[in-house]
């Protein structure tokens, strides 16, 4: 048994979701490929998995499947072997894991890491695997604590760390401890998920295993953790990576107040800070202020504009004096002079917001 597991640790990466909550950013690009701190989001997860000893990863794809292979190829740039398996129609998290498992090479007793493809986590995956193997568990779930567990899988455990229930998105959570989206399965357990069917691990497989008395463990820790599934969380994730709050081997430069990709032109009279990532060839003009934001490739932020905690898509333009706070501007869109977009505002790709007649104060 140890022979297979030590030889080559394998993982399955779940990346088939549509990323609906991140529209319009995810209209053309799946959530796991959105530029985050200068690289596609998944680059951070791949580098971290590699550092934890994973050597081979099977991508479980569905939505815009071909784009993953275009982005990461055979994985050699990461020191990984990557395989791509595509569901013609989405099979749900459990069906996707079962389907992707066809491309695993390990034996039935080996541990297999399964990762949700929208998570930034500083936890020690290698230690999670080691604990799983040590205790001979069927399944070991990474757990973290959040303020509002109702949006996640709520996971109570007993004194020995054994999971006693799995309550997906329950309005009445019994603990703040939630499923953090990184699992270690014993391979043979994956093979018990029905093939070719839509299955949810959260609603079917996990509760079923617990009910059947299988050893399901929690691996709880308090390291950095974030699901980047909403615009606010996505911006926060990029910012935290740029600032070095979550160290990432994939960050294309030193951590600091600002990350600027090649060809970016930032006026010395502009202020760009608080973990902002500036895309390739993007321009920030004199007097503009950009804080904690993600600026896409080739976008322009004109003079005296204010961009705070926002995403500006590739090739978009934020005109002089416009204000964005917690907003998302799609690729190629134009926010005309004087517009003020507040938290939750979304501008669809290519849309042009004309100059706003009523000028807002641009004081901050
Ligand atoms: N291949 C494939 N096929 N992947 C899928 C499918 C599918 O049908 N459905 C979802 N996924 C992938 C998504 O791309 C994502 O990487 C992952 O599965 C989880 O889906 P989300 O849509 O992000 O789920 P969530 O954030 O609402 O909830 C999940 O994650 C929470 C932690 O962030 C659950 O696992 C919760 O229990 C958990 O707490
Ligand atoms: Mg999610």
Q: What is the pTM of this model?
A: 0.93
C-alpha to C-alpha distances, 75 to 55, 71, 109, 182, nearest whole angstrom: 10, 9, 26, 20
Catalytic residue positions, numbered: 169
User: Residues with Cβ within 5 Å of ion ligand 2?
Assistant: 118, 227, 229
Output the DSSP codes for 92-125.
HHHHHHHHHGGG--S-TTSEEEEEETTEEE-S-H
Closest CA to 169 of 229, 223, 220, 122: 229
Mode of pairing for the β-strands spanning 139-145 and 225-227: unpaired
Q: How far is the CA of 130 from the centre of ligand 2 (A)?
A: 25
- Radius of gyration of the chain, Cα coordinates, nearest whole angstrom: 22
Q: Give pLDDT tens digits along the chain (364 positions).
A: 333 444 689 999 999 988 888 899 988 889 999 999 999 999 999 999 999 999 999 999 998 899 999 999 999 999 999 999 999 999 999 999 999 999 999 999 999 999 999 999 999 999 999 999 999 999 999 999 999 999 999 999 999 999 999 999 999 999 999 999 999 999 999 999 999 999 999 999 999 999 999 999 999 999 999 999 999 999 999 999 999 999 999 999 999 999 999 999 999 999 999 999 999 999 999 999 999 999 999 999 999 999 999 999 999 999 999 999 999 999 999 999 999 999 999 999 999 999 986 655 555 4
Closest residue to atom 35 of ligand 1, CA basis: 181
For the CA of 168, the nearest atom of ligand 1 = 37
For the CA of 166, the nearest atom of ligand 1 = 37
Output the DSSP codes for 264-322.
-EE-TTSEEESSEEE-TT-EE-TT-EEES-EE-TT-EE-TT-EEES-EE-TT-EE-TT-
Can you list the domains of the chain with their CATH numbers?
Answer: 6-227 (3.90.550.10), 257-353 (2.160.10.10)
CB-based contact 267:288 (threshold 8 Å) = yes
118 CB near ligand 1 (under 6 Å): yes
Q: How far is the CA of 272 from the centre of ligand 2 (A)?
A: 29
């Amino acid at each position: 048994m140890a022979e297979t597991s030590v030889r080559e640790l394998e993982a399955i990466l779940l990346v088939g979701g549509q990323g609906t909550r991140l529209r319009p950013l995810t209209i053309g690009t799946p959530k796991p490929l959105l530029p985050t701190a200068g690289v596609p989001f998944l680059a951070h997860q791949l580098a971290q998995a590699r550092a934890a000893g994973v050597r081979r990863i099977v991508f479980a794809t569905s939505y815009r499947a071909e784009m993953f292979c275009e982005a990461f190829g055979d994985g050699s740039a990461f020191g990984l072997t990557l395989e791509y398996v595509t569901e013609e129609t989405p099979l749900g998290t459990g069906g996707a894991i079962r389907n992707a498992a066809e491309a695993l090479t390990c034996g039935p007793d080996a541990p297999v890491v399964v990762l949700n493809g929208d998570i930034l986590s500083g936890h020690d995956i290698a230690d999670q695997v080691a604990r799983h193997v040590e205790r001979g568990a069927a399944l070991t779930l990474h757990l973290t604590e959040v303020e509002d567990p109702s949006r996640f899988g709520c996971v109570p455990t007993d004194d020995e760390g054994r999971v006693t229930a799995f309550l997906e998105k329950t309005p009445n959570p019994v603990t703040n401890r939630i499923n953090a989206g990184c699992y270690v399965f014993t391979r043979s357990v994956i093979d018990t998920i029905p093939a070719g069917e839509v299955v949810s691990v959260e609603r079917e497989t996990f509760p079923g295993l617990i009910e059947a008395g299988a050893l399901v463990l929690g691996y709880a820790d308090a390291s950095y953790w974030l699901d980047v599934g909403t615009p606010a969380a996505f911006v926060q994730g990029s910012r935290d990576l740029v600032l070095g709050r979550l160290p990432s081997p994939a960050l294309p430069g030193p951590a600091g107040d600002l990350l600027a990709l090649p060809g970016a032109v930032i006026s010395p009279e502009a202020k760009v800070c608080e973990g902002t990532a500036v895309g390739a060839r993007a321009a920030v003009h004199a007097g503009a202020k950009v804080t904690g934001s993600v600026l896409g490739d080739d976008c322009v932020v004109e003079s005296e504009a204010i961009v705070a905690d926002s995403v500006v898509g590739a090739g978009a333009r934020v005109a002089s004096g416009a204000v964005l706070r917690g907003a998302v501007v799609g690729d190629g869109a134009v926010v005309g002079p004087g517009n003020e977009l507040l938290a939750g505002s979304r501008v669809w790709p290519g849309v042009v917001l004309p100059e706003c007649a009523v000028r807002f104060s641009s004081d901050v």
